[in-house]
Chain A
Amino acid sequence: MPNPSKIRASLKDGVTEVRVLMQHEMDNGRRKDEAGKLIPAWYITEFKALHNGRTVLAGQFGTSVSRNPYLVFRFRGGVAGDKVSIDWVDNRNETRTDEVLIA
């Protein structure tokens, strides 16, 4: 089971700012371990951010997003107490969904 994403969503002047840290190795498939063996590529390929079930940001990643992908984005229309969730899927088809309430 992958580790949970850390999410913070805070409302200011009608705009919700979301900060997300997805916990993932994001291996690009070109690094080698101590034994000199290639570490296979393992990375988040797609994610989606939803506000009360409506998509507010969606995206695709390649292997050049840093380990533990970090995102900051902002959307209008959020109210304190609303749900913001982050879904992701990686190239092994592992998934993770986490949510937070807008503060």
Chain B
Amino acid sequence: MHGLDHNMIDTGRRRALVTGGSFGLLGLFTVLGLMPSFARAGVSREAFESMTLSEAFAALGGLIPQDSALISLSAPDVAENGAVVPVTVETSLAGIEQISILVDKNPTMLVASLEFPAGTESFITTRIKMAQTSSVIALVKADGRFYKTSKEVKVTQGGC
């Protein structure tokens, strides 16, 4: 099950980390080999509650991401159905670790955050929901630094 069955533990661990002070338990999990595999992958769930872009960037660890021409973000200029907006992010930045997709004017900004191990190409396609016309932002973490690019997508029929 690749650690999915440890998800309850995982959730508990995150909470423990947030509230602090439970490092003894965390150490015990590590010793027992119970460290859930999902725990290594990524951002805290709090990042998904972000209501503003700066809050989301901060939660992801990149306070002021630098604009980069090395990230390509493909999305339609006009999306007739905001419930299904195709998005592709690709980058030639070296040492890529993470790609996150955000929508500025959605009720919560962060759509998805993906972790790229070595050997996986710096490319992702997915489909997102957009409540209204907004910027779509691709945030890329590479070699520990954050970069971004954005694109305005006009939404005819909101789909959040």
| Distance of A63 Cα from B108 Cα, bound (Å) | 8
Main secondary structure of the interface of B (DSSP, over half): mixed
Among B19-27, B42-50, B62-70, the stretch that binds chain A is B42-50
Report whether A64 and B108 are in contact in the complex, using a CB–CB cutoff of 8 Å: yes
Residues of B within 8 A of A71 (CB): 124-126
Residues of B within 8 A of A54 (CB): 117
Report whether A64 and B160 are in contact in the complex, using a CB–CB cutoff of 8 Å: yes
Report whether B121 and A65 are in contact in the complex, using a CB–CB cutoff of 8 Å: no
A63 CB to closest chain B CB (Å) equals: 7
Report whether A58 and B129 are in contact in the complex, using a CB–CB cutoff of 8 Å: no
A48 within 8 Å of B (CB atoms): yes
> What are 15 pairs between A and B in contact, CB < 8 Å?
A30-B107, A57-B115, A60-B112, A62-B108, A63-B108, A63-B129, A64-B110, A64-B112, A65-B126, A65-B127, A69-B126, A75-B120, A76-B121, A95-B7, A97-B2
Residues of A in contact with B, size category: 35 or more
In chain A between 59 and 85, which residues have their CB closer than 8 angstroms to a CB of chain B? 59-67, 69-77, 85
Report whether A73 and B123 are in contact in the complex, using a CB–CB cutoff of 8 Å: yes
Residues of A within 8 A of B83 (CB): 66-67
| Distance of A54 Cα from B5 Cα, bound (Å) | 17
Residues of A within 8 A of B111 (CB): 61-62, 64-65
